[in-house]
Structure 1
Amino acid sequence: MTTPLALRSDAEALAATLPALLAEAEHLATTVLLGDHGRRRAGMGDTFWQYRPAQAGDDARSIDWRRSARSDGNFVQDKEWQIAQSVILWVDQAAAMSFTSTDDLPTKATRARTLALAAAILLLRGGERVGLTGLRLPPRRGEAQLARMAQMLSEDDTTDYGSPDAQGMLPHSRALFVSDFLSDLAPVEEALTKAADRGVRGAMVQILDPQEEAFPFDGRTIFQSMSGGLEHETLKAGDLRDRYLERLAARKDALTTLAARTGWQFHTHRTDASATAALLWIYGALERQI
């Protein structure tokens, strides 16, 4: 099992190469989490917070010349940042995600958890609230939240396949679902429909091992689920290849259609591909939801 410390270390390294992602709210009235008290943090907003001495790099247009005229230096108005967008994550922790076709590649679970936590790091660095679905971890900010998230994402589920949970999603927030999405699609459709009804938009990232996309099997083969609960034996695995690839393509098409219908984005990522590229896609997908 991946340790929380190792998972966080990998995610920190991945997130360090990217700029901070600021999840600006689409509906300010429903996403100001601290109400009229604001967030007591400099940033975007209309409410005055404080004056501070101008620093190198400050735009001349941001200088309050009236206040500056009363002193020997220039001063800038800082505003309270009242935009506090919540982003809820669901990461499939079922047994199927522990698959890898070779020791040279990470398991699907490791890649999924690292990407999700890296995205959380970027969001938290931008001052956003991040949490987990299913009311497991309500959205909050801070290092303690990151540590709790790393711990919870490091836990394994004994079920064969996972299903997303739409509970805990605040209206007009955003979400990130990461899974192989190879199980029954009905729970996925239900979760995205509920999310869409609440004005929640987001991104789905399908994590697949390269062997799952190529189906390189031939001859006598025994297929067994990672939990050991399901098993299928065939003497002519090669005869199944075309049907398998057709069903996989149909699954991707169905997920793409579902995402488009509910205002989400969908992307497939292989564990032999660049994790940084996948994180960049997540960055862009969430940014397009603004």
Structure 2
Amino acid sequence: MSEPAPSTLRSSAEALAAPLPDLQAQAERLARTLLLGGHGRRQAGMGDEFWQYRPAQMGDSARSIDWRRSAQSDAQFVREKEWQAAQSVHLWVDRSAAMQFASSKDLPSKGARAGLLAMALSILLMKGGERVALASLGTPPRIGALQLTRIAEGLSTIEEVDYGTPDATGFLPHSNAVLMSDFMGPIEAVEEAVSKCADLGIKGALFQILDPAEEAFPYQGRTIFTSMGGAMSHETLRAGDLRDRYRDRLAERKDRLSTLAQSAGWRFDTHHTDSSAQSALLWLYAALEGPR
């Protein structure tokens, strides 16, 4: 198989990278509104004491490796201190096909809103001196412009699955976490992830993002419902007859998510894509405050 011509490779790369500066610019503008409003994170310090060794991960610098501890085995280890975990935030953002839904061309998709909020939250946290990691990248929390670029790249990808599955692998004990999704897929995966986080002393938030049509269910008559990934389809001649049952199921799902968050000491909220992104960002920022 021949290599693509340089001109073709460049144009393809430029097309792939085009959304990234726009996402970062939008997120910067959104973050700036909160910074100008004087909102800040107020966290109790946790000291500079040694806390634990952890296996080195991709992206760790050579100087962060504890060579004395690493010499005792075939693996490399990083020495972490309490404050490093306390000032780390892990973000899991659902990039599944379901998140690409928008009921109107005048509304952003759920995935686009989630990406914007995750990016703006990352900017705010880093400006406050905290380290951020995007779960899908599989790298430890970091700070700086390069990390923001990596996060933007990660948020631009779409997974070829109907519904996302939260992944808490690699989350640091006693850190913070935000799980962002419509949470319309199997809820057992969400419960497992939050339970794993709670066992590690991680505090955080479940943030549900819905299109307003998913809340109101405005459909009537003959309607064909198809999942964004195309794996599921259902046709009905009387969509209006399903409205009450659908709303009841949605209310049950929200209640289950709220109960799950409360049991783990987390916070839960639902955001609609026709609502203010600024108020959503403020809620997320505030949700990561509070006693540790």
TM-score range, shorter chain: 0.7 to 0.9
Matched, 1:24 2:24: no
- Report what 1:251 is aligned to: 253
Q: Give the superposition deviation at 1:25.
A: 5.8
For residues 236 and 49 of structure 2, what CA distance do their matches in structure 1 show? 55
Matched, 1:228 2:230: yes
Moved >2 Å (runs of 4+) = 19-33
- Candidates 142, 145, 155, aligned match of 1:143: 145
What whole-Å deviation, never above 9, does each CA across 1:115-135 have from its counterpart, x for those lacking one?
Answer: 011110000111111002256
Q: Secondary structure at the match of 2:225?
A: strand
- Candidates 84, 93, 97, aligned match of 1:95: 97
1:1-290 equivalent positions in 2, closer than 5 A: 3-19=19-35, 21-22=40-41, 24=43, 27-28=46-47, 83-84=83-84, 85-133=87-135, 136-290=138-292
Which amino acid is the alignment partner of residue 87 of structure 1?
A: V
Q: Give the superposition deviation at 1:10.
A: 1.2
Q: Secondary structure at the match of 1:18?
A: helix
Structure 1 residues 105 and 277, CA, compared in 2 at 3 Å: closer, same or farther?
A: same
Q: Give the superposition deviation at 1:32.
A: 7.5
Identical-residue share of aligned pairs (%):
54
Choose 133-142 or 115-124, whichever is displaced more: 133-142
- Aligned 8 A contact 2:137 2:154 in 1: no
- Aligned 8 A contact 2:176 2:204 in 1: yes
Structure 1 residues 164 and 26, CA, compared in 2 at 3 Å: closer, same or farther?
A: farther
TM-score (norm 2): 0.79
- Aligned 8 A contact 1:25 1:31 in 2: no
Q: Give the superposition deviation at 1:282.
A: 0.6
Q: Give the superposition deviation at 1:189.
A: 0.2
For residues 136 and 49 of structure 2, what CA distance do their matches in structure 1 show? 20
For residues 160 and 26 of structure 1, what CA distance do their matches in structure 2 show? 41
For residues 95 and 44 of structure 2, what CA distance do their matches in structure 1 show? 29
For residues 49 and 137 of structure 2, what CA distance do their matches in structure 1 show? 19
- Aligned 8 A contact 1:203 1:266 in 2: yes
Q: Give the superposition deviation at 1:21.
A: 4.2
Q: Secondary structure at the match of 2:288?
A: helix
Structure 1 residues 198 and 280, CA, compared in 2 at 3 Å: closer, same or farther?
A: same
Structure 1 residues 135 and 111, CA, compared in 2 at 3 Å: closer, same or farther?
A: closer
How many correspondences in the alignment? 243
- Aligned 8 A contact 1:31 1:173 in 2: no
Q: Give the superposition deviation at 1:221.
A: 0.3
For residues 50 and 278 of structure 2, what CA distance do their matches in structure 1 show? 29
TM-score (norm 1): 0.79
Structure richer in helix, relative to its length: 2
Q: Secondary structure at the match of 1:268?
A: strand
